[in-house]
Amino acid sequence: MPSFWRLQALLAKIETVYGTDPTPTGAANAILAEDVRVMPMEGQDVTRGFERPYMGARPTIAAGLHAKISFKVEVKGSGTAGTVPAIGVLLRSCAMAETIVAATSVTYNPVSSAHESCTIYFVNDGTNYLFKGARGTFKYVMSAQGVVYLEFEFTGLFTQPAALAMPTATYGTQLTQMPQVASSANTPTFTIGAVAAVLRSFSLDAGNKVTPRMLVRSESILITDRSEMIDMQIEAVPLATYNPFSLAAAGTAQAISLIHGTGAGKICTLSVPAAQVQRPTGLAEQDGITEWPLKFVPVPTSGNDQFTIAFT
């Protein structure tokens, strides 16, 4: 009997002790994910280098084993202001701190130490692909008239896949609360500096450097650095209104604000206090209109403040 790909459940739970499975459950820890891709046995194949009196392939030994999983989730709040969204566990495992203001907001910002980790279960038709000690990186991706996503990639310690009964996944508002597409009505604010720009596409790459560190007596997945980058495409305007060329030449930093969603508990605000304008490398055309593909580098000012993602 074959395994059916569409029969799958993704669960994630923060670890109290690194690499120790906290046993996520379908009732409390289900993640409504799309486009799941699993690389369950990454590593190296070490060739045995002995000599023989005949030709032929040499056997190998699997080493440095770890596992990767990528997927995307809809960007939306829990539906209740101040209540942690289901994707909070994922952001926390990507070197982000979580700050909760009761009945008001849940905000995530990058941190440089004491990184949390999670255990991820990917259960596919009765087979569990287990990712312990998982840490990762993500992209915030928006396109006009499309669903807004967070695209995650996690690396975890390798564990042999094992049989596991399909969990009963409870998705709550992840499923019942419809995502709001990026539009003028649903995305009321997008500014670069003091300019309200017309946006076609936007991407913030957290740029975490995720490193499997496989040593004797210590195996772990670490986030050892980060290098954020923003890509966007906006309508070109007169240079008197906004001049990315002079700003790039001067190395000027601009504040970027992107607010998506309407209604309490459904709003996501991405704030970048200081994003250095990079050299524009070309022009684009859509519908006979000139557009600017632009890049920005979020830079810290006092540290760990390159950007925040707030759900309100």
What does the block give as tokens for 17? Answer: 């002790």
Domain ranges of the chain: 8-42+62-303
* pLDDT tens-digit profile, the chain (312 residues): 899 999 999 999 999 999 999 999 999 999 999 999 999 999 999 999 999 999 999 999 999 999 999 999 999 999 999 999 999 999 999 999 999 999 999 999 999 999 999 999 999 999 999 999 999 999 999 999 999 999 999 999 999 999 999 999 999 999 999 999 999 999 999 999 989 999 999 999 999 999 999 999 999 999 999 999 999 999 999 999 999 999 999 999 999 999 999 999 999 999 999 999 999 999 999 999 999 999 999 999 999 999 999 999
Q: What's phi and psi for 157, nearest 5 deg?
A: -70, 145
Q: How high is the pLDDT of residue 294?
A: 98
Give Cα separations from 61 to 47, 131, 153, 216 (angstroms): 6, 22, 27, 16
- pLDDT value at position 114? 97
Q: Which residues pair with 186 in a beta bridge?
A: none
Instruction: For residue 25, list its beta bridge partners.
Output: none
269 DSSP β-pair partners: 259, 310
140: helix, strand or coil: strand
Taking the CA atoms of 154, 159, 163 and 169 in sequence, report the sign of the dihedral they define: negative
pLDDT value at residue 1? 85
Assigned token pair, 117: 């980790």
294, two tokens = 């632009």
The secondary structure of 235-249 as a DSSP string is E---TTT--HHHHHH
In whole angstroms, what is the distance from residue 303 CA to residue 116 CA? Answer: 19
pLDDT of residue 268: 98
Is the Cβ–Cβ distance between 40 and 151 less than 8 Å?
no
Rounded to the nearest angstrom, the gap between the alpha carbon of residue 80 and the centroid of all alpha carbons in its chain is: 22
d(CA 73, CA 268): 14
**Gyration radius of the chain's alpha carbons:** 22
Q: Check residue 235 and give its pLDDT.
A: 98
